């Protein structure tokens, strides 16, 4: 599986989890907590794969425009990882505030996914070529296995 196919699969999973989470009610405290934890794990692994493998390759192979895409995508990751997700994790799952924060996180992630799939990934295909994306896909699968193992051990 090439790098882009793998990342799109991740996107589909996260969107499905976000949809499930946003459709819960205040009474579904346990389910909300479980879904949020799963989203956190998936997003952290996905972010690591993009930032360690794909983004640097695009930045290196491209020019000024690709460098801007690189920094914008990293900033969107930082917003979710450092601001939105920690706030959501600290919010009582049985509250309306939680639902509001889920909606904001869902909108941010959907926007980010849309940009990646419509701009960043086509750029990667053009700049990097089929073989490089295949090689990156293998590296990502290995890294993903390692990160999932580390998360389970923690």
Q: What's residue 133's pLDDT?
A: 97
Do 6 and 137 contact (CB within 8 A), yes or no?
yes
List the structure tokens of 4. Answer: 């882009």
Taking the C-alpha atoms of residue 117 and residue 112, their distance in angstroms, rounded to an integer, is 9
**Domains of the chain as residue ranges with CATH:** 3-153 (1.20.120.520)
DSSP string, 9-78: HHHHHHHHHHHHHHT--TT-HHHHHHHHHHHHHHHHHHHHHIIIIIHHHHHHHS-HHHHHHHHHHHHHHH
pLDDT value at position 150? Answer: 84
pLDDT of 149: 87
pTM of the model: 0.93
Residues of the chain with pLDDT under 70: none
Give the model's pLDDT for residue 49. 96
């Amino acid at each position: 599986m090439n790098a882009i196919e793998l990342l799109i699969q991740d996107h589909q999973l996260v969107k499905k989890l976000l949809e499930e989470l946003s459709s819960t009610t205040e009474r579904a405290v346990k389910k909300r907590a479980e879904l949020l934890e799963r989203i956190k794990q998936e997003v952290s692994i996905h972010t690591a794969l993009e930032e360690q493998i794909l983004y640097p390759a695009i930045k290196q192979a491209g020019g000024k425009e690709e460098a801007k895409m690189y920094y914008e995508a990293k900033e969107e990751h930082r917003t979710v990882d450092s601001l939105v997700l920690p706030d959501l994790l600290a919010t009582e799952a049985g509250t309306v505030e939680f639902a509001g924060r889920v909606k904001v996180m869902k909108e941010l992630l959907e926007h980010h996914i849309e940009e990646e799939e419509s701009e960043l990934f086509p750029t990667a295909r053009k700049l990097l070529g089929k073989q490089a994306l295949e090689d990156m896909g293998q590296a990502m699968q290995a890294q993903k296995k390692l990160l999932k193992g580390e998360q389970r051990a923690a």
